[in-house]
C-alpha cells in the first residue's frame, strides 16, 4: 500500500459513522437516479472513472489510462459523467454540512461553552486583566458589519441551491423518522424525488444574471436564515453576560450586527448597475424586511394573550390605543372584537397592520420610519414590565425588537461604489459644460446615482444608503470629487448625507494611505461629518487586487502594515476608525476563516469593530443553514472581542517586534519571485492557454464583466477570474506562490518555527498557504501547465510548489499538509480523487479546444466541448468548495 492510499484509508476510517452513512445513502440514491435516467451503462461508466481515479492515487492506474478512458467516450457521455460527479459533490457537501450541525449541537454545553463562541469570549475577557468593567466596555462598543457582494464567485445556479436546500430538508425528515415507519419510507421516496430533480436541473446558466437577479438570490439567505438567526445570536450573548436573568430583565447584549450590501449598488466596472437598479434594489430589500417584520410581529401578537386584569396596560399604552382608535376606528374595532381585554396583544396587532400598510404604501396607516415602529414595541415592552410580566417583556418581544434594531425598514445598508477615474471624467465634463450642458451618458448616470441616494434617504432614512466607496483612491481629491459631484446633482437642501470611503487596493496605494487620510481631514465636508458622527472614519482595504499586484506574501505584510499605520493615524487624530476588509472568499483573495484572520490583525486595528465583505459562494456556505449561520456570526463576534483585549494585542505586538525584520526578508524575496513569474514575456497568453480563463465568462456567474475594460492583459483582469482560473488548474497559485522562495531567504529554520508558534499573523499566513497547497494536485497541474507549451514556465511553477510545500511542512513541524486540522484534511483527502475525475474530463475539453486542430472542429463538436468544459468547471468548484 502506498503512502497516499494509506492516508486515504486513514481518512476514511476517521469519518464519523453518521457522516459515512449519509454519504453512502445519498450516493446510492444518486446511483439509482443515474440508472433510471441513463441506464446501467451510464452508472458503469461513472463507476469505471471513480475506481480509476482512486487507483491513480495509489499507483495502480496510470494517468494515461484515465486519459484514454475519458477520450473513448462520446462527448455526450462525457458531459453526463461530469454532471454525475458534480451532483455527487453537491450531495457530499450537504452531508458534511449536516455533520457540522450535529457536531455543533453535541458541543452545545452551557456550563462549558464551545471554543470560538460568544460565551467563551465573555468568559475569557471577564477572567482577564480588565475584568467585568472591560467586558462591559467591549460589549457596549462591539460592531460586526458583514457586507454582501455580488462578485461572480458562486458557480451554482439559484435553482441548484434551492434544490439542495430541499434535499437537506428531506434528509432531516429521514433522520427524524423512526426507521421502518411509513414516515421514513415517505422521506426516502421524497429524497429520491429531489435528487432526481437535482440531476435533471441544468448546472449551467443559459442567460447572464442581471443585478436584480443577484439581489433576489442574496435575499434568499435573509429569508431562510439571517432574519431568524440574529435574535438567537444576541440571546446567546445576553445569556453569557448574565445566565440567570436573561429573559427577565432589560437585555445587556447590544444588537451588534449591521448588514450592508453592494448588490445593486456596486457599479465599478459593471455597466449593468444603473441608478434605476439601485432604486429597485432598495425597494426589493424593503419589501423583504417588512414582510419579515410583519410576520414576526403578528406571531408575537397572536401568542401574547395576557389578560388585562392580570396584566394591566400602562398609561402610555392606553394613550397609544386611544390615539390609534381615533385615527383608525374601524380597524381598532375589528382588532378589539378579536382580542377583548388583551391590550398588549391588541396594540401589537395594530402594529402588524401598520407594517402591512407600510409595505403596501398606504400613507394613512403606514409607519413613517423604523424608529416609530420601535417606539411602539418599546411602549408595549415597558407596559408589560410595569405590570410585572417580565418574561413577556424580555422574551419573544425582545427578539422582535432586536430584529427591528438590526434591519430597520431597509434590511441592509445599500452601499455605492464607483471608480475614481469615472468621477474624474464626470467632473471634467461638468466643469466645462455645467450640469445643464451636453453631458455623456456616463456622467448623467453619476449624477442620477447621487439623486437616487437622496431619494433612498428621504424614503428609508439616512442609514439605508450613506456610504459611497471610491475604488482606486489615490489622493484626497478623489474623495472631494464625490462631494463636488453631489453639488452638481442637487441643491444644498436636498443633497444626501454621504460618508465617502477611500478604497486602497494596490501595494503602492496601501503604503500612501495615511497621507491621503490627512488630506481628507482638511475637506470641509469631512470635518462636518466628523462632528456629526462622533469622529468616525471608515477606510476600505482591498485584499484581492493587492494580492494579485504583489503576490500573497507581500500583500499580507503590506495589509498588516497598512492596518498598523492607520490605527496609529487614528490615535493621533482622535478618530474612531473602522477598517473595512475587502476579503474574497478564496485564500488567494484574502479569504479563509474570518475569525482566525481577526486574531492576526495589527494591534489596535480592530478596537471592537469589524467590517468585511462576504462574497459569492461564501454567502451560501455561511448562511445556507441556520445552525451554520449562527456559528459563523458567533465565531466572528468571539474574535472581535478577543482581538480587542489588551492581552491579545500585546502578544501580537511583541511577536511582530521580534520577528518583523525576518518577515520583511521573506516578503521581499517572495515578491521578487512572484513578479518575475507574472512579468515574464508572454505570461498572460500562457496563462490563458493553461487555464479555462477565457471560457469562464460563459458560465454567466454574475452580471459583472470579468475585466474592467477591453484590454486583455493581466492588469485589466479582475482578481476573481484570476483566482478562479488557477483553482480550476489545481495549481492554486495565488494562495502560495513565492512563499517557498521567501522562507528559503531566512536560513534559520528554528527561528521560523518560533515565529510560527508565537506570531499569529505569521501563523495565519502559513496556515492559509498550507490549505491552498493541500488543494493543489501536482500531477494534474502538470497536465494543465503543459497546455501552454512553455516547459520553462511549467518548471518554474512546479519548482516553487515543491519548495513551498517542503518549507511549509518544515516550519510548521507537520509530517503532512493539514496534519493538525483533521476534519479539513479528511475532507480534502476523500474529495481529491473525485475532483481528479472532473479535472480529467475538463482536460479532455481544454486539450481539444487548445490544439492545432481546434479550427477544424465542427460547430456541434465545439459546442459539446465547451459545455463539457463548463460542466467540469462547475463540478470542480463544488468539489473544492471554492471558486474565486
Residues designated catalytic: 151, 548
For 607-639, b/e burial (b = at least 16 CB within 10 A) is bbbbbbbbbbbbbbbbbbbebbbbbbbbbbbbb
Sign of CA dihedral 222, 224, 226, 228: positive
Closest of 123, 143, 189 to residue 609, by C-alpha: 143
Task: Please state, in angstroms and rounded to a whole number, the distance separating the CA atoms of residues 151 and 619.
Answer: 11
- 737 Cβ contact partners less than 8 Å away, ≥ 6 residues apart: 551, 552, 673, 674, 677, 797, 800, 804
Question: Helix, strand or coil for residue 257?
Answer: strand
Cα angle vertex 573, ends 418, 564, to 5°? Answer: 70
Buried b or exposed e, range 206-221, using 16+ CB within 10 angstroms:
eebbebbbbbebbbbb
C-alpha cell read off for 344 = 398588549
* 2 CB neighbour count, 10 Å cutoff: 11
- The H or E element that residue 371 is part of is helix 370-386
Contact 318, 343 (CB under 8 A): yes
309 exposure class (CB count in 10 Å sphere: 0-12, 13-18, 19+)? exposed
Q: Is 413 helix (H, G, I), strand (E, B) or coil?
A: strand
Neighbours of 425 (CB within 10 A): 15
What is the number of other CB atoms lying within 10 angstroms of the CB of residue 387?
20
Rounded-to-integer distance, Cα 798 and Cα 791, Å? 10
Q: Are strands 143-149 and 260-261 parallel, antiparallel or unpaired?
A: parallel
Do the beta carbons of residue 362 and residue 353 sit within 8 Å? no
Question: What spatial distance separates the first Cα and last Cα of the chain, rounded to whole Å?
Answer: 36
Contact between 862 and 703 (Cβ < 8 Å): no
Which of 790, 747, 840, 626 is CA-nearest to residue 61?
840
Instruction: Measure the CA–CA gap between 181 and 662, rounded to whole angstroms.
Output: 65
What Rg, from alpha-carbon coordinates, does the chain have? Answer: 28
Instruction: Decide: 470 and 516 in contact? Cβ < 8 Å.
Output: no
Closest of 375, 298, 373, 309 to residue 343, by C-alpha: 309
Q: Compute, in degrees rounded to 10, the torsion defined by CA atoms 427, 430, 435, 441.
A: -80
Residue 193: name the closest of 225, 159, 238, 163 by CA: 163
Element housing 215 (H / E): helix 211-221
CA distance 396 to 675: 57
Amino acid at each position: 500500500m502506498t503512502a497516499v492510499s494509506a492516508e486515504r484509508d486513514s481518512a476514511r476510517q476517521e469519518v464519523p459513522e453518521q457522516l459515512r452513512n449519509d454519504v453512502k445513502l445519498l450516493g446510492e440514491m444518486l446511483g439509482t437516479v443515474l440508472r433510471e435516467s441513463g441506464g446501467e451503462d451510464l452508472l458503469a461508466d461513472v463507476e469505471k472513472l471513480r475506481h480509476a481515479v482512486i487507483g491513480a492515487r495509489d499507483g495502480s492506474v496510470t494517468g494515461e489510462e484515465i486519459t484514454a478512458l475519458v477520450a473513448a467516450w462520446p462527448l455526450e457521455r462525457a458531459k453526463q459523467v461530469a454532471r454525475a460527479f458534480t451532483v455527487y459533490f453537491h450531495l457530499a457537501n450537504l452531508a458534511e454540512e449536516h455533520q457540522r450541525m450535529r457536531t455543533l449541537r453535541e458541543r452545545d454545553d452551557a456550563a462549558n461553552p464551545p471554543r470560538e463562541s460568544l460565551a467563551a469570549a465573555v468568559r475569557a475577557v471577564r477572567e482577564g486583566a480588565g475584568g467585568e468593567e472591560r467586558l462591559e466596555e467591549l460589549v457596549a462598543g462591539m460592531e460586526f458589519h458583514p457586507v454582501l457582494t455580488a462578485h461572480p464567485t458562486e458557480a451554482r445556479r439559484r435553482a441548484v441551491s434551492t434544490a439542495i436546500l430541499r434535499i437537506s430538508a428531506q434528509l432531516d425528515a429521514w433522520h427524524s423518522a423512526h426507521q421502518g415507519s411509513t414516515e421514513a419510507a415517505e422521506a426516502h421516496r421524497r429524497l429520491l424525488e429531489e435528487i432526481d430533480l437535482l440531476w435533471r436541473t441544468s448546472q449551467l446558466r443559459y442567460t447572464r444574471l442581471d443585478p436584480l437577479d443577484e439581489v433576489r438570490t442574496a435575499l434568499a439567505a435573509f429569508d431562510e436564515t439571517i432574519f431568524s438567526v440574529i435574535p438567537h445570536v444576541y440571546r446567546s450573548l445576553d445569556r453569557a453576560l448574565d445566565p440567570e436573568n436573561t429573559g427577565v430583565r432589560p437585555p445587556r447584549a447590544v444588537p451588534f450586527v449591521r448588514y450592508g450590501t453592494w448588490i445593486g449598488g456596486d457599479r465599478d466596472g459593471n455597466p449593468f448597475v444603473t441608478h434605476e437598479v439601485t432604486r429597485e434594489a432598495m425597494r426589493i430589500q424593503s419589501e423583504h424586511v417588512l414582510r419579515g417584520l410583519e410576520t414576526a410581529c403578528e406571531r408575537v401578537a397572536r401568542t401574547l394573550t395576557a389578560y388585562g386584569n392580570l396584566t394591566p396596560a400602562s398609561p402610555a399604552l392606553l394613550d397609544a390605543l386611544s390615539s390609534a382608535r381615533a385615527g383608525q376606528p374601524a380597524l381598532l374595532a375589528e382588532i378589539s372584537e378579536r382580542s377583548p381585554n388583551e391590550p398588549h396583544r391588541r396594540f401589537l396587532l395594530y402594529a402588524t397592520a401598520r407594517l402591512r400598510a407600510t409595505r403596501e404604501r398606504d400613507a394613512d396607516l403606514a409607519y413613517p420610519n423604523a424608529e416609530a415602529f420601535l417606539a411602539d414595541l418599546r411602549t408595549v415592552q415597558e407596559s408589560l414590565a410595569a405590570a410585572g410580566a417580565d418574561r413577556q417583556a424580555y422574551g419573544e418581544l425582545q427578539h422582535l425588537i432586536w430584529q427591528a434594531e438590526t434591519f430597520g425598514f431597509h434590511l441592509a445598508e445599500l452601499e455605492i461604489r464607483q471608480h475614481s477615474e469615472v468621477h474624474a471624467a464626470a467632473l471634467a465634463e461638468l466643469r466645462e459644460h455645467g450640469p445643464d450642458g451636453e453631458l455623456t451618458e456616463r456622467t448623467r448616470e453619476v449624477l442620477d446615482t447621487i439623486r437616487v441616494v437622496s431619494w433612498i434617504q428621504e424614503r428609508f432614512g439616512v442609514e439605508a444608503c450613506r456610504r459611497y466607496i471610491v475604488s482606486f483612491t489615490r489622493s484626497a481629491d478623489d474623495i472631494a470629487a464625490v462631494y463636488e459631484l453631489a453639488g452638481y446633482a442637487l441643491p444644498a437642501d436636498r443633497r444626501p448625507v454621504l460618508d465617502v470611503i477611500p478604497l486602497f487596493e494596490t501595494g503602492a496605494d496601501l503604503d500612501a494611505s495615511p497621507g491621503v487620510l490627512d488630506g481628507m481631514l482638511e475637506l470641509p465636508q469631512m470635518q462636518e461629518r466628523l462632528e456629526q458622527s462622533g469622529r468616525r472614519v471608515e477606510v476600505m482595504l482591498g485584499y484581492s487586487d493587492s494580492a494579485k499586484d504583489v503576490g500573497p506574501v507581500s500583500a499580507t505584510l503590506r495589509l498588516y502594515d497598512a492596518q498598523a499605520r492607520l490605527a496609529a493615524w487614528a490615535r493621533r487624530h482622535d478618530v474612531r476608525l473602522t477598517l473595512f476588509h475587502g476579503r474574497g472568499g478564496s485564500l488567494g483573495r484574502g479569504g479563509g476563516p474570518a475569525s482566525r484572520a481577526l486574531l492576526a490583525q495589527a494591534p489596535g486595528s480592530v478596537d471592537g469593530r469589524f467590517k468585511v465583505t462576504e462574497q459569492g459562494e461564501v454567502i451560501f456556505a455561511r448562511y445556507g443553514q441556520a445552525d451554520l449561520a449562527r456559528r459563523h456570526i458567533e465565531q466572528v463576534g468571539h474574535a472581535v472581542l478577543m482581538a480587542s483585549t489588551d492581552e491579545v494585542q500585546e502578544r501580537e505586538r511583541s511577536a511582530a517586534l521580534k520577528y518583523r525584520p525576518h518577515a520583511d526578508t521573506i516578503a521581499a524575496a517572495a515578491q521578487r519571485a512572484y513578479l518575475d513569474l507574472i512579468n515574464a514575456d508572454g505570461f498572460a497568453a500562457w496563462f490563458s492557454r493553461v487555464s479555462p480563463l477565457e471560457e469562464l465568462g460563459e458560465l454567466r456567474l454574475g452580471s459583472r464583466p470579468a475585466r474592467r475594460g477591453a484590454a486583455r492583459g493581466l492588469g485589466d483582469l479582475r482578481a476573481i477570474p484570476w483566482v478562479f482560473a488557477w483553482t480550476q488548474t489545481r495549481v492554486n497559485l495565488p494562495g502560495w506562490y513565492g512563499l517557498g522562495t521567501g522562507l528559503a531567504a531566512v536560513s534559520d529554520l528554528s527561528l521560523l518555527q518560533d515565529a510560527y508558534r508565537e506570531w499569529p499573523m505569521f501563523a495565519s499566513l502559513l496556515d492559509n498557504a498550507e490549505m491552498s497547497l493541500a488543494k493543489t494536485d501536482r500531477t494534474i497541474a502538470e497536465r494543465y501547465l503543459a497546455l501552454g507549451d512553455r516547459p520553462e514556465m511549467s518548471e518554474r511553477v512546479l519548482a516553487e510548489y515543491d519548495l513551498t510545500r517542503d518549507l511549509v511542512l518544515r516550519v510548521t513541524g507537520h509530517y503532512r499538509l493539514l496534519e493538525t486540522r483533521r476534519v479539513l484534511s479528511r475532507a480534502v483527502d476523500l474529495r481529491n480523487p473525485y475532483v481528479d475525475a472532473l479535472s480529467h474530463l475538463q482536460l479532455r475539453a481544454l486539450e481539444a479546444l487548445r490544439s492545432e486542430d481546434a479550427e477544424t472542429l465542427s460547430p456541434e463538436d465545439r459546442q459539446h466541448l465547451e459545455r463539457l468544459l463548463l460542466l467540469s468547471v462547475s463540478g470542480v468548484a463544488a468539489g473544492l468548495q471554492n471558486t474565486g
